[in-house]
Structure 1
């Protein structure tokens, strides 16, 4: 070890080394600051690298001149020259964005090349370090070759740049380094075969890795291409091609890269053609654009998938859950972070409901610049509804106002897109998802918003289960999270998150927002709970499941890759029952004799989209759902969805899902009552088929079923004997169920739409036809035609969940208070 330090000490004493170290550290520092400015969209920091460029240019000219004049004396400075040239290249790239955004590993590998050169050009001899330096040099040299080839089309501009400003020289640096370094290595390798071997191992390692990566990418490309219309005689004119590809595409690392071509990852089809300085279009995809040399080279040798950017984005949304990334964003939000999260949960065990209030502090990184827009996505448990939204404006909490989704969106676009002022918007999305937008956030203006969700507790045998929300948004992983759980009506619970009892509350402090759940013993006192609102009482009743006689006109096995051979065989073994499947959009019988030949046709079908409109009335479908699929949003323009909406609901189709999972497509079909849908296991499914039965829920005009909680909510006229002993969330859940149940039939009926918008406003719930919005001033609401909450439940609150007095009750309260005040004054006067 002492020997190594002595060698290093002697090296630093050589001519020009101390100055070179100082210049290099100076340049690296200012380059790093500039790259941070790019990362966090800070335009002030980016020009700092110009200082580095000036120093690099002066240093490069002086050292180059000295090496050319006296090679023997100054040759040891060559590694410094290479390193500073590349730093200059990266600095130039900040101003002239030829390489777009480079991943961190590119800077690291370039630095590895330059570092290994210090040992190679210094003729350093060591049993371990020397082979390692040549191995690292071989690994990194291929990246220098890539730089050189990629910059060939820019060579003429670089020559002109040298004559004009001198900085055009940096466009020629990779070629100059390649030539100089190749000459040096040739001389060294002619004298030492060992060094050549280690360099060759490193070079071959990267070459083989690139080749293997390209082969795997080609395999995935062929799999995708097999599902194009022209590659198959299978036809389904009702579905667009990209949906067929999506159905047969199992999400993985390689096909995600293919789909992100020209959307996230830069691709150069002809590397020798001049490309200009703008490689990307304007497609809405909120992910940082990247120039990855490994991926770009692989693209060159991979057959292109003939899909439009819109089609690729739709597949990314359905197969990779990238719906948040494709949300329309009026302002950038790339550099936002979530600083603090407060997760406040109140469980009403006697009502089998919970209310979750999430408060978040959002900020820009300290060096960020400009106004930003934050977008958060909340994936809710089944049956949940958004019931509150607040934004802090000038230090004061302003609560959201519920209005139609069209008015809310129009007001938000106007105030954010044109006026650039304070709003927040909460919107409903298909598949139990809610999106919240907050604007503006900047380095001097962090923001706080709060939103609340009413959730049914999931009943499982003798327990009820609370499930936390799945949240996506700006950098949640490092947020300081404070969680609290309160129980009303039952004090026992077990959670897979460690809560401590503090000041009569169960508290947890952590980082990020992990998924967790709490289990509470079941409580049948729920059936005495009710809530009174506007002369009606909303009572919790037991859900009524009844096994009714049902002889299906046909039984369809909705096969896909989730099915096992044993599960299919369990059906086909029953010779007394006829089963069918859909192949190429055509119905075909499946039997014990042919199922082995049919199954392979479904092994790559990861989710199905049955033509429900082609089924007979009273058909039965047995499906096994996975977790991902296209939803109505991706299918919006297809003939398939139009036919589903017009030709399904009247067919009385029954569906049995033998999986615990449910994908977005079936979730929407179930929520919007296109079919009668139940989930059970294989054994219970077969029992129902054997007995010609189906499980139905009691329904009525005044009754909403909350399946996860195993309860129903009924609306009745209030009687004198009725007490309001439950939370207002009972009414909110009833209203949400009514809007969701009817929203399919009201799309063309303006009177019905107005009726259900009024119901949503009354309960203050976010639905397919209503949104919550917070505006900066009362005048903003008036200007956009949005009426503030009047005589409604208003925003839900963790501290206020009881009944709201009705008008005549307010009058009684006022009379009582007036009488008490009169009596008090009279008594005081008499006493004095």
Structure 2
């Protein structure tokens, strides 16, 4: 270190170069960190400062040390920083992946340290030699990548020399080679360190190419086998089942969608770049670019790739249809208002979100915000508001088709204020807000009715979270209030501002959980439209059930020990598994079958092929990722389900895991299954006693097993209390799902009685959506009437029962009698 300081004290040019590099790199990092908003103007202004630093040092080198390699090394590093600063305005390289960013910085540091090679110790010299090996490969790669820009760079040099940045990597490669030649001469150990720096990246790249080829081969084999077997599942779904579920496979599927690839047939590295159909920032990974050259093109079109990403990598939000871009949007703040009703085991959550548009170019300022809300199981959205001209406008409920038509017409053609919210599979809803302009922040609110999770004698509130405009810098104001203050409340980080009301101010956090002891269940009903809705404790009831056929839903989630442990309890029955068709599982083929089936990322067990469902038991264990039920639409598998579901008989299903795939979850909501859950020991106990759950639902009862609740619809409307209207909303949602199930694929579930039930409860469902339009005329021309005989938008301010017309009459009669008696006592004199 002393030698380096001595060199700096003697050489002002090197000292100046290091100071300018530090300033330039530091400024670049500040801009990249998002400390302030990056617009087209600020991005170019930031580049000019980086470029100015490189120009200052350029002239210093020209006049003071033209022949010194060390000076040119520092100048080229300055230009390298300037080139990436220019990349913000003139996109040549998309955002570098994390490992590439690290390599870029290490290469630059290694090249700078080579200036002081004579002043370094033995270990430091070997480290620098290793880094120079990596740097040489990196700069050669960039030099080749930019070949298509060289001619443009020469002719464009007259424009202040900006285009000359294209030649910087080539200059760095030459400088690195000369530095290596000078410093490694006659030193075998340094040459070995340099060789390691070369070989390790090359080996890593070779392994990546080999894995690329391997996955490409698996894709082609899955396509061939599915075609030969005339499989009923879509080809992309079979591919998703069989390829590895890891980050490398995800990169390969995202090639040409998110990651840039090489295309020799269309202007070298510059051709064939899309996709507008997938909303994820474009990325640059040299391994993907090189593997696309030597590993072969993946035999999948863009639509199939996106479907695989949706099913395996939670990318449904990114694949949403977009009418307008939302690139410059962010979530500025979140206000969360939670009202918990412990005695009713439910909660109502309002999330008020503010959307900020950082775009400064007014000609392209309108953007569309799309949010996907993930809600707890059994939850339903019961309100939507959009602020228009500073005033809150509440939503109306209409059919999904009408809401979609109105939104597309207004956003796609007329370009003024709407907001729409649609139900989606997998406990999600999507909300769209337009326009989000740079002139003002847009504010909207979503209200979610959720059952609480009951485990033992404790209740847990689970928060909803969202995908959408980034909330990384968002602040959150959160308030939690209870209808009755519970015991054993676990609510860290909150201040109690009044009895049962707690608040916190913090950075946005999506994973809020609140636990407390479950109080006795309230039995006061909520009454509306001639019906009452009353809670009952749900106690699972068992019935004698002797399964004659066992169906195993085998996939990668099963362990060999689980199958071995279960086998003695079922081997004397007829046991089947599904591998393109139903096959019998025996002692002889069990290990072979497990080895094959355990490679499937997920399974799509065809419930329609279960024979004699009244004596069948389906045993499953699954991950959360899989295709949705809707993904089977138009497939042979889906067509068979279309015929099967209307006449399906409930099947006993036992889940030995804690998750259900979206496919099974949807079928569960539609009451295709009599659901059982537990560990293997409990299952073996059930099998030994031949006792499994007995369904307790009918047309007037719905069960929320996760909350230990049953909601009963009664004709008792004379009881007056303050039960929350959310009882009706939860009952209606579950009842609608029962009615939708048999006709999910043929869409004949859109019936007047089902629409009326959704309207009465005012909930988003497969048949209903919430929409906010700007004016009354907009509602009229799209035929969206004001909701009558409806609970309307839920609100945290009102949660009590609404008296029925008959109850109002009874109340008026009582008031009249009281007034008469009071009047009589005051004005009628007693007889003497």
Same topology, TM > 0.5? yes
Cα drift, residue 181 of structure 1: 4.0
Match of 1:829 in 2: none
What secondary structure is seen at the aligned counterpart in 2 of 1:281? Answer: coil
- Secondary structure of the 2:443 match is strand
Query: 1:525 matched to which residue of 2?
Result: 521
Of 253, 273, 280, 1:280 maps to 273
Q: Within 5 Å, give how 1:320-399 maps onto structure 2.
A: 320-365=313-358, 370-399=365-394
Q: 2:174 aligns with which of 171, 175, 179?
A: 179
Partner of 1:633, secondary structure, is helix
2:292 to 284, 296, 299: 299
Distance verdict in 2 for CA 1:108–1:335, change over 3 Å: farther
Alignment of 1:1-12 (within 5 A): 4-12=4-12
- Maintained 8 Å contact 2:153/2:164: yes
Question: Post-superposition shift, 1:530?
Answer: 0.4
Task: State the alpha-carbon separation in 1 of the partners of residues 386 and 810 from structure 2.
Answer: 34
**Which residue number in structure 2 is paired with residue 243 of structure 1?**
237
Residue 217 to residue 707, structure 1, CA distance change in 2 (3 Å): same
Provide the rounded CA distance (Å) in 2 between the counterparts of 1:66 and 1:107: 33
Alignment equivalent of 1:594, drawn from 586, 589, 596: 589
- Contact kept? 2:489, 2:515, Cα under 8 Å: yes
In structure 2, relative to structure 1, the CA distance for the partners of 1:818 and 1:373 (3 Å cut) is farther
| Aligned partner (choices 506, 511, 533) of residue 510 of structure 1 | 506
2:622 aligned partner: 625
Q: TM-score, normalised by structure 2?
A: 0.87
Alignment partner of 1:209: what SS?
A: helix
Equivalence for 2:603: 608
- Looking at structure 1, the residues matched to 495 and 24 of structure 2 have their Cα atoms a distance apart, in angstroms, of 51
How has the CA–CA distance of structure 1 residues 186 and 82 changed in structure 2, closer, same or farther, with 3 Å as cutoff?
Answer: same
- Higher alpha-carbon deviation: 111-120 or 803-812: 803-812
1:666 Cα deviation after fit = 0.5
Tell me the C-alpha RMSD between the 2 structures.
Answer: 3.7
| Partners of 1:531 and 1:727 within 8 A in 2 | yes
Pairwise CA distance, 1:719: 4.9
**1:622–1:148 Cα change, 3 Å:** same
Deviation at 1:112, TM superposition (A): 4.6
Match of 2:404 among 399, 409, 412: 409
CA shift at 1:626, angstroms?
A: 2.2
For 2:527 and 2:346, the matched residues in 1 are separated by: 17
Quick one: structure 1 residues 90 and 279, their matched pair in 2 at CA, closer, same or farther if it must change by over 3 Å? Answer: farther
- Whether 1:731 and 2:728 are equivalent positions in the alignment is yes
Deviation at 1:514, TM superposition (A): 4.1
| Residue 160 (structure 2) pairs with residue 136 (structure 1) | no
1:98 alignment counterpart: 92
Q: Would the aligned equivalents of 2:69 and 2:175 in 1 still touch at CA under 8 Å?
A: no
Kindly state the Cα deviation for residue 533 of structure 1 after the two structures are TM-superposed: 0.5
Structure 1 residues 752 and 554, CA, compared in 2 at 3 Å: closer, same or farther? Answer: same
Alignment check: 8 A CA contact 1:318 1:629 kept? yes
Contact 1:37 1:46 in 2 (8 A): no
1:554 aligned to 549, 555, 559, which one?
Answer: 549
| 1:776 counterpart residue number | 774
Aligned to 1:311: 304
Question: 1-side partners of 2:814 and 2:518: how far apart?
Answer: 41
Secondary structure of the 1:245 match is: helix
Q: Distance in 1 between matches of 2:417 and 2:184?
A: 66
Query: In the alignment, which residue of structure 1 is the partner of 2:703?
Result: 705
**C-alpha separation between the residues in 2 aligned to 1:775 and 1:151?**
49
1:90–1:352 CA distance, 2 compared to 1 (3 A): closer
Instruction: After TM superposition, give the deviation of residue 359 of structure 1 in Å.
Output: 2.1
Equivalent in the alignment of 2:828: none
Give 3-state SS (helix, strand or coil) of 2:630's partner. Answer: coil
Which of 232-241 and 768-777 deviates more? 232-241
Per-residue deviation at 1:631? 1.0
CA contact (8 A) 1:145 1:174 kept: yes
Runs of 5+ unmatched residues, structure 1: 822-832
Contact 2:39 2:358 in 1 (8 A): no
Between the aligned partners of 1:248 and 1:276, the Cα distance in structure 2 is 31
Q: What is the SS of the residue equivalent to 2:252? A: helix
Higher deviation after alignment, 484-493 or 449-458: 484-493
Distance, in Å, in 2 between the alignment partners of 1:372 and 1:819 is 61
Q: Is the 8 A contact 2:61 2:71 kept in 1?
A: no
- Correspondence 1:432 to 2:430: no
Q: How many residues align?
A: 811
How high is the TM-score relative to the length of structure 1? Answer: 0.87
Given that 1:49 and 1:91 are in contact with CA atoms closer than 8 Å, whether structure 2 keeps it comes out as: yes
| Counterpart in the other structure of 2:829 | none
SS of the equivalent of 1:712 reads strand
Contact 1:378-1:470 within 8 A present in 2 as well: yes
Call closer, same or farther: CA 1:254–1:387 in 2, change over 3 Å.
same
Instruction: For 2:707 and 2:11, locate their aligned partners in 1 and report how far apart those are by CA, in whole Å.
Output: 75
Give 1:658 deviation, angstroms.
2.0
Return the alpha-carbon distance in structure 1 between the equivalents of residues 448 and 807 of structure 2: 28
- Name the residue aligned to 2:823: none
Contact 2:312–2:626 (CA under 8 A) maintained in structure 1: yes
* Pairwise CA distance, 1:3: 5.3
Q: 1:702 to 1:75 in 2, by over 3 A?
A: closer
Q: CA deviation at 1:610?
A: 1.8
Distance 1:462 1:112 in 2: 55
| 1:125-274 matched pairs, under 5 angstroms | 125-127=119-121, 129-162=124-157, 168-190=163-185, 192-193=187-188, 195-230=190-225, 235-270=229-264, 274=267
Q: Residues 577 and 364 of structure 1: is their aligned pair in 2 closer, same or farther, counting only changes over 3 Å? A: same
1:568 is aligned, of 544, 563, 568, to 563
Structure 1 partner of 2:657: 659
Counterpart in the other structure of 2:824: none
SS for the counterpart of 2:506 is strand
User: For the Cα contact (< 8 Å) 1:63–1:81, is it kept in 2?
Assistant: no
Select which of 619, 622, 635 maps to 2:632.
635
In the TM superposition, residue 195 of structure 1 has moved relative to its aligned partner by 4.7
Corresponding residue number in structure 1 for 2:572: 577
Change (3 A) 1:157 1:759: same
Which residue in 2 is equivalent to 1:290? 283
Find the counterpart in structure 1 of residue 459 from structure 2. Answer: 464
Aligned to 1:452: 447
Task: Work out the CA distance in 2 between the residues paired with 1:682 and 1:669.
Answer: 23
Deviations 1:452-493 (A, max 9, x none): 111112232333332222433332344323333322245214
SS at match of 1:44: helix
Contact 1:495 1:519 in 2 (8 A): yes
Report the more deviating stretch, 662-671 or 147-156.
Answer: 147-156
The answer on whether the counterparts of 2:263 and 2:271 sit within 8 Å (CA) in structure 1 is no
Which stretch of the first structure deviates more once superposed, 24-33 or 371-380? 24-33
Instruction: Sort the Cα spacing of 1:540 and 1:111 in 2 relative to 1 into closer, same or farther, 3 A.
Output: closer
What SS is found at the alignment partner of 2:11? helix
User: Is the alpha carbon distance of 1:170 and 1:752 closer, same or farther for their aligned partners in structure 2, counting shifts above 3 Å?
Assistant: closer
Q: Deviations over 1:562-608 (max 9, x none)?
A: 22334323443247732322343232222334322322121112321
Distance of aligned partners of 1:140 and 1:691 in 2 relative to their CA distance in 1, 3 Å threshold:
same
Aligned equivalents of 1:10 and 1:476: distance in 2? 50
Does structure 2 conserve the Cα–Cα contact (< 8 Å) formed by 1:23 and 1:55?
no
Task: Name the CA shift for 1:133/1:443 in 2 (closer, same or farther; >3 Å).
Answer: farther
Deviation at 1:116, TM superposition (A): 3.9
Counterpart contact for 1:553–1:617, Cα < 8 Å:
no
Query: For structure 2, which runs of at least 5 residues remain unmatched after alignment?
Result: 820-832
Residues 1:32 and 1:48: Cα distance change in structure 2 (over 3 Å): farther
- Equivalent residues of 1:139, 1:203 under 8 A apart: yes
Asked if residue 794 in structure 1 is aligned to residue 788 in structure 2, the reply is no
Aligned partners of 2:521, 2:161: CA distance in 1, in Å? 83
Q: Partner of 1:796: helix, strand, or coil?
A: coil
How has the CA–CA distance of structure 1 residues 810 and 367 changed in structure 2, closer, same or farther, with 3 Å as cutoff? farther
Residue deviations 1:72-97 (CA, integer Å, cap 9, x gap): 4x554312431344345446645654
Q: Is residue 245–residue 601 contact of structure 2 (8 Å, CA) maintained in 1?
A: no
